[in-house]
Homo-oligomer: A and B are copies of this chain.
Amino acid sequence: MDNQNISDLIETYLKQILERNEKIEIRRAEMADQFHCVPSQINYVIKTRFTIPKGYVVESKRGGGGYIRIIKIKLSNDTDILSEMENLVGDRVSQDDAFAIIQQLYENEVLSKREGNLILSVLSKQILQMDLIYDEEQLRARLLQAFLERLGYEEAE
């Protein structure tokens, strides 16, 4: 409930702003000051919470007048979304990224909540990390690709 760590606080703060704005531009040192943490923690937050599968693009510039810019990606029609996600998945995908992708599909109403949960139930580490005989991330990618392809058919009908 409120055993929030600093990274979560920073994440929440930024996402709050991004709900009202297409993008946000920050100065790393300032952020770090504001949240009483070291600058590299800002990088950590960005790297773990503002990834492309989660729907964000990040640009930055060093030197005088440097900045970090976080942009919320807006996806267009369902077909585009699906093929975009297929690209993201590729032939290996982590649990985090897979979950983020399903979340995106849900938010864009490509999937119902129930469908999303069904898919997720099978992509979890717990299920796929069985024996070390096969590559977990590769298998997850194969399954997720199959789901995405199927959703593409649905779309076409």
Chain A contributes a number of interface residues (CB within 8 A of B) equal to 35
Of the 9-residue stretches A80-88, A93-101, A119-127, which lies at the interface with chain B?
A119-127
**Majority-rule SS of A interface residues:** helix
| Copies of this chain assembled into the complex | 2
Task: Tell me if A146 and B127 are in contact (CB < 8 A).
Answer: yes
Cβ-closest chain B residue relative to A25: B1
By a CB distance below 8 angstroms, the chain B residues around A107 are none
Task: Tell me if A147 and B133 are in contact (CB < 8 A).
Answer: no
Task: Tell me if A3 and B67 are in contact (CB < 8 A).
Answer: yes
By a CB distance below 8 angstroms, the chain B residues around A124 are 146
Task: Tell me if B150 and A117 are in contact (CB < 8 A).
Answer: yes
CA–CA, A126 and B97, complex, Å: 24
One digit per residue, 1 when the CB lies within 8 angstroms of any chain B CB and 0 when it does not, for chain A 1-38 equals 10111011000000000000000010100000000000
